[in-house]
Amino acid sequence: MGLIAIIGGTGVCDIKMLKNAKEHHMDTFYGTIHYVRGTYEGKELIFLPRHGKTHSIPPHLINYRGNMLGLKRLGVTAVISTTAVGSLNRDFKPNEFVLPDQFLDFTKSRHTSFFDGGENGVVHVDMTEPYCPTLRRTLMAAADELGGYALHNGGTYVCTEGPRFETPAEIKMYETLGGDLVGMTNVPEVCLAREAEICYATVSMVTNFAAGISPSALTHSEVVDCMAENSLRLRTLIMKAVELYGDDDCLCRHALQEYGGFTV
Protein backbone atom coordinates (compact mmCIF):
# COMPACT_ATOMS: atom_id res chain seq x y z
CA MET A 1 0.00 0.00 0.00
CA GLY A 2 1.45 3.34 -1.07
CA LEU A 3 1.45 6.47 1.04
CA ILE A 4 -1.27 9.10 0.73
CA ALA A 5 -0.31 12.75 1.15
CA ILE A 6 -2.51 15.76 1.85
CA ILE A 7 -1.26 19.13 0.67
CA GLY A 8 -3.03 22.10 2.16
CA GLY A 9 -3.13 24.83 4.76
CA THR A 10 -2.73 24.35 8.49
CA GLY A 11 -6.49 24.36 9.01
CA VAL A 12 -6.99 21.34 6.79
CA CYS A 13 -5.22 18.62 8.73
CA ASP A 14 -5.59 18.49 12.50
CA ILE A 15 -2.52 16.63 13.75
CA LYS A 16 -4.60 15.37 16.67
CA MET A 17 -6.53 13.24 14.16
CA LEU A 18 -3.38 11.25 13.41
CA LYS A 19 -1.81 8.61 15.62
CA ASN A 20 1.92 8.80 16.26
CA ALA A 21 2.10 12.12 14.39
CA LYS A 22 5.63 13.48 14.12
CA GLU A 23 7.11 16.47 12.34
CA HIS A 24 9.93 15.80 9.88
CA HIS A 25 12.03 17.61 7.33
CA MET A 26 13.84 16.44 4.22
CA ASP A 27 16.57 18.04 2.15
CA THR A 28 15.97 17.80 -1.59
CA PHE A 29 17.81 19.09 -4.64
CA TYR A 30 15.37 22.02 -4.60
CA GLY A 31 15.60 22.82 -0.90
CA THR A 32 14.24 21.62 2.44
CA ILE A 33 10.62 20.57 2.90
CA HIS A 34 8.68 20.12 6.14
CA TYR A 35 5.91 17.59 6.68
CA VAL A 36 4.01 15.61 9.30
CA ARG A 37 3.78 11.81 9.22
CA GLY A 38 1.27 9.70 11.15
CA THR A 39 -1.48 7.11 10.76
CA TYR A 40 -5.24 7.37 10.31
CA GLU A 41 -7.56 4.36 10.39
CA GLY A 42 -4.54 2.10 9.97
CA LYS A 43 -3.18 3.95 6.93
CA GLU A 44 0.04 5.93 6.91
CA LEU A 45 -0.54 9.55 5.98
CA ILE A 46 1.64 12.52 5.12
CA PHE A 47 0.53 16.12 5.61
CA LEU A 48 2.50 18.81 3.84
CA PRO A 49 1.65 22.46 4.63
CA ARG A 50 1.91 24.16 1.24
CA HIS A 51 2.58 27.64 2.63
CA GLY A 52 5.02 26.45 5.30
CA LYS A 53 4.55 25.69 8.98
CA THR A 54 3.60 29.30 9.77
CA HIS A 55 1.69 30.00 6.54
CA SER A 56 4.34 32.54 5.55
CA ILE A 57 5.15 31.52 1.95
CA PRO A 58 3.13 33.31 -0.77
CA PRO A 59 1.80 31.28 -3.72
CA HIS A 60 4.41 32.43 -6.25
CA LEU A 61 7.32 31.49 -3.94
CA ILE A 62 6.20 28.02 -2.85
CA ASN A 63 8.83 25.33 -3.39
CA TYR A 64 6.58 23.24 -5.62
CA ARG A 65 9.36 21.06 -7.05
CA GLY A 66 10.91 20.39 -3.65
CA ASN A 67 7.52 19.46 -2.19
CA MET A 68 6.62 17.00 -4.93
CA LEU A 69 10.08 15.46 -5.19
CA GLY A 70 10.14 14.98 -1.42
CA LEU A 71 6.76 13.26 -1.47
CA LYS A 72 7.95 10.97 -4.25
CA ARG A 73 11.04 10.01 -2.24
CA LEU A 74 8.83 9.19 0.74
CA GLY A 75 6.92 6.69 -1.38
CA VAL A 76 3.76 8.76 -1.83
CA THR A 77 1.56 7.39 -4.61
CA ALA A 78 -1.49 9.66 -4.21
CA VAL A 79 -1.96 13.31 -3.28
CA ILE A 80 -5.17 15.02 -2.25
CA SER A 81 -4.68 18.76 -2.26
CA THR A 82 -6.95 21.51 -1.01
CA THR A 83 -7.36 24.98 -2.46
CA ALA A 84 -9.38 28.07 -1.64
CA VAL A 85 -10.84 29.53 -4.83
CA GLY A 86 -13.00 32.30 -6.17
CA SER A 87 -15.88 31.29 -8.41
CA LEU A 88 -16.48 32.43 -11.98
CA ASN A 89 -19.40 30.05 -12.32
CA ARG A 90 -22.67 31.18 -10.76
CA ASP A 91 -23.55 27.53 -10.12
CA PHE A 92 -20.49 27.16 -7.85
CA LYS A 93 -21.42 29.15 -4.78
CA PRO A 94 -19.42 30.17 -1.69
CA ASN A 95 -19.14 27.38 0.92
CA GLU A 96 -19.47 24.71 -1.79
CA PHE A 97 -16.77 22.32 -2.99
CA VAL A 98 -15.54 21.51 -6.50
CA LEU A 99 -13.34 18.75 -7.94
CA PRO A 100 -11.57 20.39 -10.91
CA ASP A 101 -10.97 18.23 -13.96
CA GLN A 102 -9.09 20.78 -16.11
CA PHE A 103 -6.91 23.84 -15.61
CA LEU A 104 -5.76 26.99 -17.38
CA ASP A 105 -2.25 28.17 -16.51
CA PHE A 106 -1.74 31.93 -16.17
CA THR A 107 1.29 31.76 -13.89
CA LYS A 108 4.42 33.63 -14.96
CA SER A 109 7.56 32.84 -12.99
CA ARG A 110 7.19 29.29 -11.70
CA HIS A 111 9.17 26.18 -12.55
CA THR A 112 6.56 23.86 -14.03
CA SER A 113 8.74 20.82 -14.76
CA PHE A 114 11.47 18.66 -13.28
CA PHE A 115 12.89 18.34 -16.79
CA ASP A 116 14.67 21.51 -17.90
CA GLY A 117 17.15 19.83 -20.22
CA GLY A 118 20.73 18.97 -19.32
CA GLU A 119 21.19 15.77 -17.33
CA ASN A 120 17.45 15.41 -16.73
CA GLY A 121 16.65 15.64 -20.42
CA VAL A 122 13.36 16.89 -21.84
CA VAL A 123 9.99 15.26 -21.15
CA HIS A 124 6.60 16.04 -22.70
CA VAL A 125 4.05 14.58 -20.28
CA ASP A 126 0.44 14.00 -21.34
CA MET A 127 -2.10 16.17 -19.49
CA THR A 128 -5.32 15.09 -21.19
CA GLU A 129 -6.72 14.19 -17.77
CA PRO A 130 -4.60 16.32 -15.42
CA TYR A 131 -6.52 15.31 -12.29
CA CYS A 132 -6.59 11.62 -11.41
CA PRO A 133 -10.02 10.15 -12.26
CA THR A 134 -9.59 7.38 -9.68
CA LEU A 135 -8.97 9.82 -6.83
CA ARG A 136 -11.82 12.04 -8.00
CA ARG A 137 -14.22 9.07 -7.98
CA THR A 138 -13.08 8.23 -4.45
CA LEU A 139 -13.75 11.79 -3.28
CA MET A 140 -17.21 11.74 -4.87
CA ALA A 141 -17.92 8.40 -3.16
CA ALA A 142 -16.80 9.90 0.16
CA ALA A 143 -19.18 12.83 -0.26
CA ASP A 144 -22.05 10.49 -1.17
CA GLU A 145 -21.39 8.30 1.87
CA LEU A 146 -21.20 11.26 4.24
CA GLY A 147 -24.20 13.07 2.76
CA GLY A 148 -24.92 16.78 2.96
CA TYR A 149 -22.03 17.89 0.73
CA ALA A 150 -22.41 20.24 -2.23
CA LEU A 151 -19.49 18.74 -4.18
CA HIS A 152 -19.44 19.58 -7.89
CA ASN A 153 -17.71 16.98 -10.08
CA GLY A 154 -15.72 18.84 -12.71
CA GLY A 155 -14.67 22.38 -13.43
CA THR A 156 -11.79 24.34 -14.93
CA TYR A 157 -9.34 25.83 -12.43
CA VAL A 158 -7.64 29.04 -13.59
CA CYS A 159 -4.29 29.42 -11.84
CA THR A 160 -2.93 32.96 -11.56
CA GLU A 161 0.46 34.13 -10.35
CA GLY A 162 -0.68 36.02 -7.27
CA PRO A 163 -0.24 37.12 -4.63
CA ARG A 164 -2.60 39.92 -5.68
CA PHE A 165 -6.22 39.18 -6.49
CA GLU A 166 -7.41 39.38 -10.09
CA THR A 167 -8.98 42.39 -11.82
CA PRO A 168 -12.57 42.24 -13.12
CA ALA A 169 -11.16 42.47 -16.67
CA GLU A 170 -8.99 39.40 -16.07
CA ILE A 171 -11.92 37.51 -14.57
CA LYS A 172 -14.03 38.38 -17.62
CA MET A 173 -11.30 36.98 -19.87
CA TYR A 174 -10.94 33.79 -17.82
CA GLU A 175 -14.69 33.31 -17.89
CA THR A 176 -14.74 33.75 -21.68
CA LEU A 177 -12.02 31.09 -21.97
CA GLY A 178 -14.10 28.59 -20.00
CA GLY A 179 -12.75 29.05 -16.49
CA ASP A 180 -14.95 28.12 -13.53
CA LEU A 181 -12.63 28.73 -10.57
CA VAL A 182 -9.68 30.99 -9.91
CA GLY A 183 -6.85 30.33 -7.47
CA MET A 184 -3.09 30.69 -7.09
CA THR A 185 -1.61 27.32 -6.15
CA ASN A 186 -2.74 24.40 -8.32
CA VAL A 187 -0.14 24.99 -11.03
CA PRO A 188 2.56 23.73 -11.20
CA GLU A 189 1.59 21.27 -8.43
CA VAL A 190 -0.68 19.23 -10.70
CA CYS A 191 1.93 19.17 -13.49
CA LEU A 192 4.76 18.07 -11.22
CA ALA A 193 2.61 15.33 -9.71
CA ARG A 194 1.98 13.91 -13.17
CA GLU A 195 5.67 14.03 -14.04
CA ALA A 196 6.44 12.26 -10.75
CA GLU A 197 3.81 9.61 -11.61
CA ILE A 198 1.74 10.43 -8.53
CA CYS A 199 -2.06 10.37 -8.59
CA TYR A 200 -3.31 13.88 -7.84
CA ALA A 201 -6.72 15.43 -7.18
CA THR A 202 -7.82 18.75 -5.73
CA VAL A 203 -10.75 19.65 -3.53
CA SER A 204 -11.42 23.34 -4.17
CA MET A 205 -13.48 25.23 -1.63
CA VAL A 206 -15.33 28.23 -3.01
CA THR A 207 -14.78 31.13 -0.62
CA ASN A 208 -16.21 33.97 -2.72
CA PHE A 209 -17.34 35.04 -6.17
CA ALA A 210 -14.46 36.51 -8.18
CA ALA A 211 -13.80 40.21 -8.79
CA GLY A 212 -16.47 41.82 -10.94
CA ILE A 213 -18.92 39.05 -10.07
CA SER A 214 -18.84 39.70 -6.33
CA PRO A 215 -20.82 42.83 -5.40
CA SER A 216 -18.02 43.99 -3.09
CA ALA A 217 -14.23 44.25 -3.09
CA LEU A 218 -12.35 41.06 -2.20
CA THR A 219 -10.48 40.73 1.09
CA HIS A 220 -8.12 38.07 2.39
CA SER A 221 -10.06 37.95 5.67
CA GLU A 222 -13.12 36.86 3.70
CA VAL A 223 -11.18 33.86 2.40
CA VAL A 224 -9.75 33.04 5.85
CA ASP A 225 -13.16 33.26 7.51
CA CYS A 226 -14.75 30.95 4.95
CA MET A 227 -11.92 28.43 5.28
CA ALA A 228 -12.24 28.46 9.07
CA GLU A 229 -15.99 27.97 8.85
CA ASN A 230 -15.67 24.98 6.53
CA SER A 231 -12.35 23.42 7.57
CA LEU A 232 -13.99 20.68 9.64
CA ARG A 233 -16.25 19.65 6.74
CA LEU A 234 -13.29 19.68 4.38
CA ARG A 235 -11.19 17.54 6.75
CA THR A 236 -14.06 15.10 7.21
CA LEU A 237 -14.45 14.71 3.45
CA ILE A 238 -10.76 14.12 2.88
CA MET A 239 -10.40 11.65 5.74
CA LYS A 240 -13.40 9.66 4.48
CA ALA A 241 -11.73 9.55 1.06
CA VAL A 242 -8.52 8.30 2.71
CA GLU A 243 -10.55 5.50 4.31
CA LEU A 244 -12.14 4.53 0.99
CA TYR A 245 -9.08 4.83 -1.23
CA GLY A 246 -7.85 1.47 -2.46
CA ASP A 247 -4.53 2.58 -4.00
CA ASP A 248 -5.33 0.72 -7.22
CA ASP A 249 -2.92 0.92 -10.12
CA CYS A 250 -3.67 3.89 -12.34
CA LEU A 251 -2.47 5.41 -15.61
CA CYS A 252 -1.05 8.30 -13.56
CA ARG A 253 1.55 5.86 -12.19
CA HIS A 254 2.84 5.21 -15.72
CA ALA A 255 2.80 8.74 -17.13
CA LEU A 256 6.50 8.62 -18.08
CA GLN A 257 6.55 5.01 -19.24
CA GLU A 258 7.88 5.94 -22.69
CA TYR A 259 10.77 7.75 -20.97
CA GLY A 260 11.60 4.85 -18.68
CA GLY A 261 9.63 6.20 -15.71
CA PHE A 262 10.38 8.88 -13.15
CA THR A 263 13.49 8.31 -11.07
CA VAL A 264 14.54 10.07 -7.88
Count Cβ atoms below 10 Å from residue 8 Cβ, excluding itself.
26
Decide: helix, strand or coil at residue 43: strand
Q: Is position 73 annotated in a ligand binding site?
A: no
Q: Would you say 222 and 243 are in contact if contact means Cβ atoms under 8 Å apart?
A: no
CA gap 197, 124 in Å, rounded: 13
Q: Rounded CA gap, 155 and 56, in Å?
A: 29
User: Residue 32 pairs with which residues in a beta bridge?
Assistant: 27
Whether residue 137 contacts residue 246, with contact meaning beta carbons closer than 8 Å, is answered with: no
The verdict on whether residue 77 carries a ligand-binding annotation is no
- Which residues 6+ apart lie within 8 Å of 188 measured at CB? 64, 65, 105, 107, 110, 111, 112, 113
- Mutual angle of helices 220-244 and 133-146, in 10-degree steps: 90
Question: Is 1 known to sit in a ligand binding site?
Answer: no
186 is in an annotated binding site: no
On whether the CB atoms of residues 150 and 203 are closer than 8 A, the answer is: no
Ligand-binding annotation for 208, yes or no, is yes
Single-letter amino acid, residue 237:
L
150 is in an annotated binding site: no
CA distance 233 to 56: 24
Angle between helices 186-195 and 64-74 in degrees, nearest 10 = 40
In one-letter notation, the amino acid at residue 115 is F
20 is in an annotated binding site: no
**Does the annotation flag 228 for ligand binding?**
no
Q: Is 201 annotated as a binding residue?
A: no
Is 84 marked as a binding-site residue?
A: yes
Which residues contribute to the annotated binding site for phosphate?
10, 50-51, 83-84, 185
Which residues contribute to the annotated binding site?
10, 50-51, 83-84, 184-185, 208-210
Which residues contribute to the annotated binding site for substrate?
184, 208-210
